[in-house]
């Protein structure tokens, strides 16, 4: 019997690998133990070209630095031996919990343990953080047994209080911030699951062990940092006169933190950000202002060099009194797009109505100087990480990101989406097999309209709903920007930079990475048509798929 057990263990491998766009692959495994084993192996010994690793319920998403590296990683994953035991000796985290959750009694009925039995079972075992997702600090914890297995609520709550201790399936978790959620709430804690002022922001990261301890009262620890801090005086930069519809600080994003549930964020139109920085002599990744539609108005504090790229608009420069006056006078002028220009101390730049496109980028020489968070100055609208949206009266300092002694030459910009239909190339998603041929044909055979509910998290699309060929639920798995998820209603959602790291809806297709900039410029009400990439084998297939074609 022992020999048979050893032989069985020796064949523990990745079951299959699916492509996710052109720069990521999804390894499918037999269960949580194999997920933990593969995650640990990839973190200890990264594969060539590996950028990030994101474990989920039954899969591990590996992001690569190029399509070539993604295909090589896919082949290597199928060869890895996962038989080495997973070490569960991570740091032990104690979480004091008041067990008075709204769903405690229902959880007792579902498990047959009663409310007291649920509390005893929850506190009587050690939980291990298997993976993170949904939100920063939200860790999916697996226990030592399955006595607390309960389904998600049939109707998710629109707002779950921060600190709620919950159950769903075989997992337990703590909601780090107020957010929607469908888990069964059994208690609450004052533990800060996510705190950016700690060296390790997440209280419990994958590999940590967690012990819940029943208490009568929640004790919230005082912040580890001073409650107030003196803001530095801005002597050179921009004063926000009007932020417009939405103006955010963005650079090229924060990568390598998906294991903590943190998305990359960053500029949605990366080419436009790089162009703006190049024009003013900044490093390509310097932080700039991303603004939606029109209405952004800024005033120079000290003489500044600026450039505006992205969606074309009329750029007006003058003093505030000049611009507000019916007779602007000699100091009023316009400046061209994609061209460096001086904004002298006290002068104001206003971005007018957009001609085409949806997002513009304002770069200031030296870069927007805000405090970096996890290595980036980008605002993540889903998690709340990074600078707050710009507000009227705010002073935005310019920093030291200039890397050239001279500004760039004026540049030509690409055509931006207008009133017509924008065509985006896609490759099959990892769950395209959840849809039959008619549904796949309908997906690419119709024009999808961008709904007003769209934002930096995702573009919600309106059209003829797609029918799934497979019923049931998909276990949450890692996903990428450009993924097109299809909820049960059949209307796709195109994930953008601030998307959740994991999702439970099948991904029918993924927009090729090089066209995400164009997708970000499609305005509300604009039309999109998807087209299968002409050469999906070389762009997206794994070596095994290539060999079978």
What pLDDT, in 10s, does the model give residues 317-369?
997 555 555 554 446 899 999 999 999 999 999 999 999 999 999 999 999 99
Query: Which DSSP category does 161 fall into?
Result: P
pLDDT > 70 fraction of the chain, expressed in percent and rounded: 89
Return the minimum-mean-pLDDT range out of 182-196, 309-323, 445-459.
Answer: 309-323
Within the chain, all domains assigned CATH 3.30.1360.40 are found at 2-77
pLDDT of residue 537: 40
Average pLDDT of 57-68? 92
pLDDT of residue 85: 62
Matching residue, tokens 């064949």: 11
Residue-wise pLDDT for 244-287, tens only, equals 999 999 999 998 888 788 889 999 999 999 999 999 999 999 99
Average pLDDT of 458-476? 90
Cα separation, 90 vs 105, in Å, equals: 32
Cα separation, 463 vs 446, in Å, equals: 8
Residue-wise pLDDT for 178-231, tens only, equals 887 889 999 999 999 999 888 888 999 888 999 999 999 876 655 544 444 455
Matching residue, tokens 């506190």: 123
Residue-wise pLDDT for 388-415, tens only, equals 999 999 999 998 777 777 788 888 898 8
Given a cut of 60, whether residue 542 has pLDDT beyond it is no
Given a cut of 70, whether residue 88 has pLDDT beyond it is no
Give pTM, 2 decimals: 0.84
pLDDT of residue 402: 78
Q: CA of 459: how far to CAs of 12, 161, 222, 232, 303, in Å?
A: 39, 27, 39, 37, 38
pLDDT of residue 469: 92
Within the chain, all domains assigned CATH 2.40.100.10 are found at 92-214, 421-548
pLDDT of residue 321: 59
Residue-wise pLDDT for 358-392, tens only, equals 999 999 999 999 999 999 999 999 888 999 999 99
Given a cut of 90, whether residue 104 has pLDDT beyond it is yes
Q: Please give the structure tokens belonging to residue 479.
A: 């996903």
Backbone dihedral angles phi then psi of residue 346, each to the nearest 5 degrees:
95, -15
Beta strands, E only, 74-121: 92-97
Average pLDDT of 531-546? 53
pLDDT of residue 59: 94
Longest dimension (CA), the chain: 94
CATH fold group of domain 421-548: Cyclophilin (2.40.100)
Q: Please give the structure tokens belonging to residue 399.
A: 């920093």
Average pLDDT for the chain: 87
Query: What is the SS3 string spanning 101-121?
Result: CCCHHHHHHHHCCHHHHHHHH
Find out whether 107 and 150 touch, Cβ atoms under 8 Å: yes
Its CATH architecture, for the domain 2-77, is 2-Layer Sandwich (3.30)
pLDDT of residue 86: 59
CATH fold group of domain 92-214: Cyclophilin (2.40.100)
Instruction: Please classify residue 339 by burial: count the beta carbons closer than 10 Å to its beta carbon, then call 0-12 exposed, 13-18 middle and 19+ buried.
Output: middle
Backbone dihedral angles phi then psi of residue 367, each to the nearest 5 degrees:
85, 155
């Amino acid at each position: 019997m022992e020999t048979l057990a050893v032989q069985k263990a020796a064949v523990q491998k990745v079951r299959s690998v699916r492509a996710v766009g052109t720069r990521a692959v999804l390894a499918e495994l037999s269960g949580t133990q194999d997920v933990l084993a593969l995650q640990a192996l990839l973190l200890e010994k990264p594969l060539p070209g590996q950028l990030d690793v994101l474990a989920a319920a039954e899969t591990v998403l590996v992001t690569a630095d190029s399509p070539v590296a993604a295909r090589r990683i896919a082949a290597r994953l199928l060869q890895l031996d996962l038989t080495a035991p997973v070490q569960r000796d991570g740091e032990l985290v104690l979480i004091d919990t008041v067990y008075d959750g709204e769903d405690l009694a229902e959880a007792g009925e579902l498990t047959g343990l009663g409310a007291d039995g649920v509390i005893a079972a929850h506190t009587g075992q050690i939980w291990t953080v298997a993976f993170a997702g949904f939100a920063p600090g939200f860790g999916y914890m697996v226990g030592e047994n399955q006595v607390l297995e309960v389904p998600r609520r049939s109707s998710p709550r629109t707002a779950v209080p921060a600190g709620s201790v919950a159950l769903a399936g075989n997992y337990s978790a703590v909601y780090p911030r107020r957010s929607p959620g469908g888990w069964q709430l059994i208690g609450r804690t004052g533990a800060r699951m996510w705190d950016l002022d700690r060296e390790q922001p997440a209280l419990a990261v994958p590999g940590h062990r967690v012990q819940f301890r029943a208490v009568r009262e929640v004790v919230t620890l005082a912040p580890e940092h001073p409650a107030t801090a003196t803001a530095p005086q801005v002597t050179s930069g921009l004063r926000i006169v009007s932020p417009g519809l939405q103006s955010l600080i963005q650079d090229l994003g924060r990568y390598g933190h998906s294991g903590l549930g943190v998305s990359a964020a960053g500029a949605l139109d990366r080419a436009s950000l790089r162009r703006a920085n190049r024009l003013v002599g900044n490093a390509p990744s310097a932080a700039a202002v991303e603004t939606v539609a029109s209405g952004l108005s800024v005033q120079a504090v000290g003489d500044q060099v600026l450039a505006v790229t992205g969606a074309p608009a009329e750029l007006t420069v003058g003093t505030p009194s000049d611009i507000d006056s019916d007779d602007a006078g000699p100091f009023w002028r316009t400046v061209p797009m994609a061209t460096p220009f001086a904004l002298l101390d006290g002068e104001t730049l206003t971005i007018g109505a957009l001609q085409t496109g949806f997002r513009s980028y304002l770069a200031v020489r030296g870069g927007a100087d805000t405090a970096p968070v996890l290595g980036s100055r980008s605002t993540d609208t889903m998690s709340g990480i990074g600078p707050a949206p710009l507000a009227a009266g705010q002073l935005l300092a310019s920093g030291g990101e200039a890397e050239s002694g001279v500004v760039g030459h004026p540049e030509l910009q690409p055509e931006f989406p207008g009133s017509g239909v924008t065509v985006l190339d896609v490759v099959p998603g990892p769950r395209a097999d959840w849809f039959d041929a008619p549904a796949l044909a309908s997906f690419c055979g119709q024009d999808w309209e961008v709904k007003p509910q769209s934002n930096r998290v995702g573009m919600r699309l309106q059209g003829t709903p797609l029918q799934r060929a497979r019923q049931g639920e998909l276990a949450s798995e890692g996903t990428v920007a450009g993924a097109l998820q299809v909820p049960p209603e059949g209307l796709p959602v195109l994930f953008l930079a601030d998307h959740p790291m994991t999702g439970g809806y099948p991904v029918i297709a993924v927009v090729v990475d090089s066209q995400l900039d164009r997708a970000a410029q499609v305005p509300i009400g604009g039309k999109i048509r998807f087209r299968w990439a002409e050469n999906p084998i070389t762009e997206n297939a794994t070596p095994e798929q290539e060999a079978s074609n």
